[in-house]
């Protein structure tokens, strides 16, 4: 199993797997026992061969004419994504975006357990947001070490993002989820994933501006 | 200008432009007057030719040996992204994620003005979140038409996302920003942009699981 999980797969496969998982969890809830690649592909307008390849990486094996076990797919995809055991995370920046993430109950389903928040604003320190304590930022390094926390979530304004990431990495954080609209410089070996909200918005507003201008012409 | 804005550019260019904008806004604040492609490229470890091509789409023209006007870049990139005039948007789903987006002040800087929120939970209707009214979902169609709102933000749980998107589109919404962890079916001509938080998290947790397993081996 360990060898299987160490297979490097493409970002696009990793991004399609949550879609399949959502679908098969729905089927599971409806009591459906088997599903074919073709049926999954149809749901998303994907190529069935692509779906088969994506599922292959999880180690789940289908049966000819019967398809894949729905239960098997739920278990294997969750396991492959690292969503069967929640990873503990610390969040820095208890502003609006930070608060939202602290209150987003679905994250635990997706393998993320935000243990505590940190902020340098002394007025926020000591308060609780959705039951989670807000601690002084200066306490982060010690707690990362003591609690073996691996994930750091950066929710501070753009100009503070790099120093916060540096603090996390020096403390031993191994993976950073960045919500700040700023690029981060990260040493080799540390995992960086940008939530890219601003960039997603850029694609939307540019497309809309273009569409509205075309309509006017 | 209208012809220029109608140029179709790649998603990757659209996603790099906000990074450049953030950088040149910082330079502008510091009083820097000019910047070269090489300097911008170095900041992000990009190829200078790539940066030059990206900037070209905005219509800003540099001067040999002097570089680009920082002010010019700020104006042209914002204009190109459609961030010089805020687009009005309606948000559906005043849960935790929805609340966060309502309170995220930076969106106005990025051309997005969330005018009101909608929810079908009658306990939420009539309340205000960060000064923005929560209205009954049934009022959305009429208000989209009367207020000429173009953008709809979907912040409901996965299983409600498609009906909410359908309601928006039938009402005349032209662009959807989807925060629900579910794929949406959208008719041709309507713009769909997925925020992909769950998918971004999938990449992070899979990479981390793989890294931790490799370390253990």
CA angle at B112 for the pair B107 and B116, rounded to the nearest 5°: 100
| Measured distance CA(A89)–CA(B142) in Å, rounded | 43
pLDDT tier at A3, thresholds 50, 70, 90 = very low
Domain ranges (residues) in chain A? 2-81, 87-200
Q: Residue B175 in contact with residue B150, Cβ under 8 Å?
A: yes
CB–CB contact B203 A183 (8 Å): no
pLDDT tier at B4, thresholds 50, 70, 90 = very low
**A2-81 with A87-200: one CATH topology?**
no
CB–CB contact A201 B107 (8 Å): yes
CATH superfamily, region A87-200 = NAD(P)-binding Rossmann-like Domain (3.40.50.720)
Closest CA to A145 of A177, A169, A164, A162: A169
Its ipTM equals 0.76
> Cα–Cα distances in Å, from B113 out to A16, A25, B22, B136?
31, 35, 19, 19
Quick: pLDDT tens for A166-212.
999 999 999 999 998 888 999 999 999 988 888 888 888 888 888 88
HSE-CB at A31 with a 13 A cutoff on CA atoms is 0
Closest CA to B53 of B100, B84, B102, B7: B7
Nearest by CB to A81, from B18, B105, B206: name it. Answer: B206
The residue ranking higher by pLDDT, B50 or B7, is B50
Closest CA to A118 of A163, A87, A82: A163
Closest chain B residue to A159, measured at CA: B26
Mean pLDDT confidence for A72-84 = 89
| Measured distance CA(B85)–CA(B4) in Å, rounded | 17
Q: Could you say which residues from 13 to 32 on chain B have a Cβ atom under 8 Å away from some Cβ of chain A? A: 14-15, 17-19, 22, 26
**What is the DSSP code (8-state) at residue B180?**
S
| Measured distance CA(B50)–CA(A162) in Å, rounded | 24
3-class SS letters over A12-72: HHHHHHHHHHHHHHHHHHCCCCEECHHHHHHHHCCCHHHHHHHHHCCCCCCECCCEEEHHH
CB–CB contact A206 B82 (8 Å): yes
Q: Residue B164 in contact with residue B182, Cβ under 8 Å?
A: no
Q: Which of B10, B27, B82 to mutate to test the interface with A (most CBs of A within 10 A)?
A: B82
Chain B CB within 8 Å of residue A4 CB: no
Which CATH code for domain B2-81? 1.10.10.10
Q: Could you say which residues from 27 to 56 on chain B have a Cβ atom under 8 Å away from some Cβ of chain A? A: 44
Give this prediction's pTM.
0.74
């Amino acid at each position: 199993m360990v060898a299987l999980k160490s297979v490097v797969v493409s970002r696009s496969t990793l991004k399609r797997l949550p879609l399949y998982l959502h679908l098969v969890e729905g089927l599971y809830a409806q009591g459906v026992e088997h599903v074919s690649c073709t049926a999954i592909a149809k749901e998303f307008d994907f190529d069935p061969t692509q779906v088969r390849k994506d599922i292959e990486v999880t180690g789940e094996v289908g049966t000819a004419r019967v398809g894949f076990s729905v239960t098997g797919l739920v278990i294997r995809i969750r396991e492959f994504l690292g969503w069967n055991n929640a990873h503990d995370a610390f969040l820095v920046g208890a502003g609006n975006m930070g608060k939202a993430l602290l209150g987003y109950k679905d994250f635990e389903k997706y393998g993320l357990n935000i243990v505590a928040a940190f902020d340098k604003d002394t007025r926020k320190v000591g308060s609780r947001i959705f039951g989670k304590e807000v601690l002084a930022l200066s306490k982060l390094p010690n707690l990362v070490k003591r609690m073996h926390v691996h994930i750091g979530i950066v929710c501070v304004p753009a100009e503070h993002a790099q120093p916060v990431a540096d603090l996390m990495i020096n403390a031993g954080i191994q993976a950073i989820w960045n919500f700040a609209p700023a690029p981060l410089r990260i040493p080799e070996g540390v995992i960086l994933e940008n939530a890219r909200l601003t960039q997603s918005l850029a694609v939307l507003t540019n497309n809309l501006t273009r569409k509205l201008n075309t309509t006017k012409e």
